[in-house]
Chain A
Amino acid sequence: MAIDAATVRKVARLARIAEPEDRLEPLAREISGILAWIEQLEEVDTDGVEPMTTSVAATLPMREDVVTEGGDPAKVLANAPKAAKDFFVVPKVVE
C-alpha cells in the first residue's frame, strides 16, 4: 500500500518526530517502496497460524513483592536535562 505525504505527516506526529514539509514526499516514496516490498508477505498462507510474539517457550517469571530499589532521587535525576527540588522539569503541560 502506497502512503502519501499526509499519512507521513500524521505518522510523524504520532511518533513525535518533526519532519519538515519538504521531507514528507521523499519519505512517502521511500516508505511506500519498503511497504511494497513487504507486501510479498501476502503470498504466505497464514490461515489458522498462531502469531509468534516470542521464541521463548517459558511463561512469565514473577518477582516477590519486596522493595529493593528507590530512595535515591539523585540517581534517577542524574542525567536530567532540567531538574529542580528533585523533580524533573519539563515544558509546561497545558491540560
Chain B
Amino acid sequence: MRGARRYLHSMSETTNTKLIRGRTGDWEIVLGLEVHAQVASNAKLFSGAAVGAGAEPNSQVSLVDAAMPGMLPVINRRCVEQAVRTGLGLKAQINLKSRFDRKNYFYPDLPQGYQISQFKDPVVGEGEVIVERDDGSTFVVGIERLHLEQDAGKSLHDQDPNATYVDLNRAGTALMEIVSKPHMRSSEEAAAYVKKLRTILIYLGTCDGDMEKGNLRADVNVSVCRPGGHDRFRETGSFSHLGTRCEIKNVNSFRYIQQAIEYEARRQIEILEDGGSINQETRLFDPGKGETRSMRSKEEAHDYRYFPDPDLLPLELDPAWVKAIEDSLPELPDAKKARLQSQYGLSAYDAGVLIIEQDKADFYELAARGRDAKLTSNWVTNELAAKLSASHQDFADSPIGPGAIAELVTLIEQGVISSKIAKDVFERMWAGEGAPGDIVEKQGLTQMSDTGELEAIIDKLIAENPGQAAAVKDKPQAIGWFVGQVMKATGGKGNPGVVNGLLRGKLGLG
C-alpha cells in the first residue's frame, strides 16, 4: 500500500515529460491494449440464448452454451456484422476470409473446455484510432487486429466458503477483442485511447461501452525501456528495442487503467534498476491495494493448443454485404468534430466536448440551428450537461429538449433576458415550470431596456453617491460598482449594454 502511493506520487510529477525518472536514469513506458468489447446483439455468438446481465442464474443458457454432448455452434450473423462495422469504423482492413479456432484450457466457467476465438485469421486486420490528449493535441494508435470470440461464464466465490458457484448466462456471449499496437506512451494516453475507442463503439452501436458491467474491459500490456527505445521500435518494427512486457488482465475503468499502468511501470523500473529482469507474465490489478500481482495459476499450463474449430467452416464475407454495412455507417466522432467546427465555427475544444456523446452532439445541432453557436454550445455542455450528470440522466432522455434550449438562447440573443436571468429561467425550466418564454413572462423577468426608467435610477444613484461618481473619472474601472448597483435596483433585469452606455455618458466617460 505504502509502496503504491510512493509510485503514484512520483509518476504524477513526470507525466508531462512522458519520462519516468529512476535512480539510474530516465525510462519511458510503452503500452499496448487488448480491449474486450461485448457485442451489442440479442443472442449469443454461437447459440440462440439471450444476451444481457441481471437475469436469474443459468436462465440465459442454451444446450450449446452448457456444452452438452453433441451440441454444435452456429454463428450469429449480427455479431459478424457488428465486428465488420467496428472494423470499418476503425478504418481497418476487413478480411473477407477468416476462421475460428479453439483455445483449449480447463476452467469451470468455460463449459466446452475451449473458447472459440480467432487466432490465426481474424475478421478484421490493421486499422487506426486518432486520439485527443487533454491539451487538444492528437496522436494515432495503430490497431493490430479485431477478432470475435466467446465470453466465459461467471464464477461466484462468495456464495459458499467451500465451493464456487457457476452461472453460465454470460458464457458464449460475443466479444470483440480489439488489439492495439504498442503505441501509447503514458497512462493518460492509454486512458484517452480507451475513451476514444469507447466513443467510436457507441457511435457505431456495436457495444454499449458499459464499463461498470464489464461490457468493455481492457488487458493492458506494459513495458518500460530507456528513452529512444520506442522510437527505434517505430522505425524498425523490431520489438527488441522494447522491454519485456507484462499483461494486466481485465481492468474495467479508466481510473484503474491509469493506476495499474503507473504501478506496473514503477514496479518494472525498480526490478530493472536493481539489476533484475522482467518475467513475461499475466498480472492482476487489485483496485483495493492499487497494485498488480502475478497470476501464477494462469501461467502454469500456458499451452492453449489452438487449432481450427472443426465444427465450423471458414467465415467468408460477401463484399457487397461489407459495402452495404459501410454505406450504413453513421457519421463518426472525428468527422462530426470536423463538421461542427466548420459548420458552426466552434473551437476544436468545444466541438470535442460535444462529440464525446453522440446524443449530446445531436442535441446541440437541433438547438443550435440558426442561433449563436458558441452560446448554444455553452448552454448544452455546461448548464444542461451538469444537471443531467447530477441526476444520472442522458441527453437522449433530457427533460429539457433542444427546442427549449433554443428558445432560451433566442431570448438571450434578442436581449429579452440577460445571461444572469437566463440562469434563473433555466433553473425554473429544469424544475418543470414550462417553456422559457412563458417563465420569463409569468415571472416578469423581461430585461429592462427602457432608457427613461434606467436613467431615473442612474440619476438617483449618482446623486446619492457623489464621491464615487467623482472617483470614476480617475479610475474608469470603478464604473463596475455603479453597474452592480443598477442591477441590484432592477432585480438583475437591467440590460447590461444599455446600463453601461447610460452610465458612461452620465459619469462623463464618453
Name A residues whose Cβ lies closer than 8 Å to a Cβ of B: 13-14, 16, 53-54, 56, 58-73, 75-77, 82, 84-95
Contacts and interface: CB of A to CB of B under 8 A. Distances in A.
A54 B313 contact: yes
Interface in B296-318: 297, 301, 303, 305, 308, 310, 312-316
B313 A58 contact: yes
Contacts of B60: 70-71
B48 interface: yes
B301 A13 contact: yes
Contacts of B167: 87-88
Given A87-B156, A90-B164, A63 B77 contact: yes
Interface stretch (B29-37, B50-58, B325-333, B373-381): B50-58
B43 A67 contact: yes
B62 A87 contact: no
B58 A14 contact: no
B61 interface: yes
A53 B164 contact: no
B471 to A, nearest CB: 74
A89 to B, nearest CB: 5
Contacts of A14: 301, 303, 305
A59 B58 contact: no
Contact of B57 (A71, A87, A92, A93): A87
Name the prevailing secondary structure of the A interface residues. Answer: loop
Contacts of A13: 301
A92 B295 CA distance: 17
A94 B362 CA distance: 48
B76 interface: yes
Interface in B454-474: none
A71 B76 contact: no
Contacts of B64: 69
B425 interface: no
Contacts of A92: 157, 162-164
Given A63-B74, A67-B50, A77 B308 contact: no
13 contacts: A14-B301, A14-B303, A53-B310, A62-B76, A63-B43, A66-B43, A69-B64, A82-B163, A84-B160, A87-B156, A88-B58, A89-B165, A92-B162
Interface string B58-77: 11111110100000001111
Nearest to A73: B58
A93 B78 CA distance: 34
A64 to B, nearest CB: 6
B298 to A, nearest CB: 9
Contact of A65 (B42, B61, B163, B303): B42
Instruction: Give the 10 A-B residue pairs with the shortest CB-CB distance, closest first.
Output: A65-B78, A68-B48, A69-B62, A87-B165, A62-B77, A59-B316, A70-B49, A73-B58, A88-B166, A90-B108
A57 to B, nearest CB: 9
Given A64-B77, A88-B167, A92-B157, 13 more contacts: A61-B75, A67-B43, A67-B50, A68-B43, A70-B48, A70-B60, A71-B60, A76-B61, A85-B57, A86-B58, A92-B163, A92-B164, A93-B155
